[in-house]
Structure 1
Amino acid sequence: MGRFTKKPKKAKRKNKGSKKGEGSSSSSSNAIPSIPAKVWQPGVDALEEGEELQCDPSAYNSLHAFHIGWPCLSFDVVRDSLGLVRTEFPHTIYCVTGTQANNAPNSIGIFKISNISGKRKELVPTKKNDDNTDMDSESSDSDDDEDDDDGEADNDGPKAPVFQVRKVFHEGCVNRIRAMTQKPHICASWGDTGHVQIWDFASHLNALAESETNISKDATTVYNQTPLIKFTGHKDEGYAIDWSSLVPGRLVSGDCKNSIHLWEPASDSTWNVDGKPFVGHTASVEDLQWSPTEPHVFASCSVDMTIAIWDIRMGKKPGTSFKAHDTDVNVISWNRLASCMLASGGDDGTFTIRDLRMLKEANSVVAQFEYHKHPITSIEWSPHEASTLAVSSADNQLTIWDLSLERDEEEESEFKAKIQEEVHAPTDLPPQLLFVHQGQKDLKELHWHTQIPGMLISTAADGFNILMPSNIESNLPANNAVAA
Structure 2
Amino acid sequence: MSKRAADVSDEQSAALKAGERPVADAVPDEAGEFEDEFEDEFESEDEILEAGVDGRPDAEREEEEKDAMQVDQQAFIPGRTKLAPGEVLQPDYSTYNMLHTLGTPWPCLSFDIVPDSLGDNRKTYPATVYAVAGTQAEGSRSKDNELMVLKMSGLSRTDKDGETDSESDSDDDDNDMGEPILESRSIPLPSTTNRIRAHQTPSQSGDYSKPPQTITATMLENSQVVIHDVTQHLTSFDVPGTMIAPSASKPLSTLRMHKSEGYALDWSPLQPLGKLLTGDNDGMIYVTTRTEGGGWVTDTRPFTGHTSSVEELQWSPNERNVFASASSDGSVKVWDVRSKSRKPAVDVKISNTDINVMTWSNQTAHLLATGADDGQWAVWDLRHWKPDTAAPGAQIKPSPVAAFDFHREPITSIEWHPTDDSVVAVGSADTVTLWDLAVELDEEESREAGLSDVPPQLLFVHYMQSVKELHWQAQMPGTVMATGSDGFSVFKTISV
Give the TM-score, by structure 1 length. 0.81
The one-letter code matched in structure 2 to 1:170 is: L
Partner of 2:173: 151
**Contact conserved, 2:356 with 2:371, CA < 8 A, in 1?**
yes
Structure 2 SS opposite 1:206: helix
Q: CA deviation at 1:278?
A: 0.7
Identity, % of aligned pairs?
39
Q: 1:380 aligns with which of 391, 405, 415?
A: 415
Aligned to 1:7: 4
Whole-Å separation in 2 of the counterparts to 1:191 and 1:352: 29
What's the CA shift string for 1:242-272, capped at 9, x where partnerless?
A: 0000112011100111101101111363110
The change in CA–CA distance for 1:84 and 1:24 in structure 2 (over 3 A counts) is same
| 1:96 match | 132
1:403 aligned onto 2:427: no
Q: Which residue of 2 aligns with 1:279?
A: 304
Show the counterpart of 1:199: 228
State the match for 1:340 in structure 2: 366
The answer for the alignment partner of 1:140 in structure 2 is none
Question: Do residues 363 (structure 1) and 402 (structure 2) align?
Answer: no
The letter for the 2-side match of 1:432 is Q
Match status 1:44 vs 2:64: no
Greater C-alpha Rg: 2
**Paired residue for 1:241, among 254, 258, 265?**
265
Query: What are the within-5 Å matches in structure 2 for residues 50-449 of structure 1?
Result: 50-102=86-138, 103-104=140-141, 105-118=144-157, 147=169, 149-152=171-174, 158-182=177-201, 185-210=214-239, 225-248=249-272, 249-267=274-292, 269-315=294-340, 316-360=342-386, 363-394=398-429, 396-407=430-441, 426=451, 428-438=453-463, 440-449=464-473
Deviation of 1:7 (Å) = 2.0
- The verdict on how the C-alpha distance between 1:112 and 1:148 changes in structure 2, with shifts beyond 3 A counting, is farther
Letter in 2 for 1:346: A
Closer/same/farther in 2, CA of residues 297 and 24 from structure 1, 3 Å limit: farther
Change (3 A) 1:332 1:7: same
Tell me how large the CA RMSD over aligned residues is.
3.2
Residue identity in the other structure for 1:372: H
CA contact (8 A) 1:148 1:158 kept: no
CA pair 181-52 structure 1, distance change in 2 beyond 3 A: same
In the alignment, which residue of structure 2 is the partner of 1:132? none
- SS of equivalent residue, structure 2 residue 94: helix
TM-score by length of 2: 0.80
Whether contact under 8 Å (1:237, 1:256) holds in the other structure is yes
1:169–1:224 Cα contact (<8 Å) kept: no
Deviation at residue 79 of structure 1 after TM alignment: 1.1
Q: Distance in 2 between matches of 1:366 and 1:255?
A: 29
My pick for the range that moved more, 355-364 or 76-85, is 355-364
Q: Taking structure 1 as reference, are residues 91 and 11 closer, same or farther at Cα in structure 2, changes over 3 Å only?
A: closer
Q: Which amino acid aligns with 1:271?
A: W
Q: Distance in 2 between matches of 1:277 and 1:203?
A: 34
Q: Secondary structure at the match of 2:456?
A: coil
Name the amino acid aligned to 2:370: S
Whether the 8 Å CA contact 1:181–1:243 is kept in 2: the answer is no
Which residue identity is paired with 1:334? W
Change (3 A) 1:184 1:45: farther
> How far did 1:224 drift?
7.6
Q: Deviations over 1:30-78 (max 9, x none)?
A: 9793211211111212111222222111111111110221100000000
Q: Secondary structure at the match of 2:234?
A: helix
Q: Does the aligned pair in 2 maintain the 1:6–1:52 contact within 8 Å?
A: yes
Cα displacement (A) at 1:148: 8.0
Q: Distance in 2 between matches of 1:186 and 1:19?
A: 56
Aligned counterparts of 1:27 and 1:282: Cα–Cα separation in 2: 72
- Change in 2 beyond 3 A, CA 1:11/1:50: same
Task: From the superposition, tell whether residues 15 and 277 of structure 1 become closer, same or farther in structure 2 (CA, over 3 Å).
Answer: same
Contiguous gaps of at least 5 residues in structure 1: 130-142, 213-221, 417-424, 473-484
Shift of residue 91, structure 1, vs aligned partner: 1.9
What is the CA–CA distance in structure 2 between the aligned matches of 1:84 and 1:12, rounded to whole Å?
50
Asked if structure 2 preserves the Cα contact closer than 8 Å seen for 1:449 and 1:456, the reply is yes
Following the alignment from structure 1 to structure 2, what is the Cα–Cα distance between the partners of residues 237 and 38? 43
Change (3 A) 1:20 1:458: farther
Number of residue equivalences: 430
Is contact 1:118-1:148 (8 Å) kept?
no
Paired residue secondary structure (1:235): coil
Change (3 A) 1:253 1:301: same
Secondary structure of the 1:207 match is helix
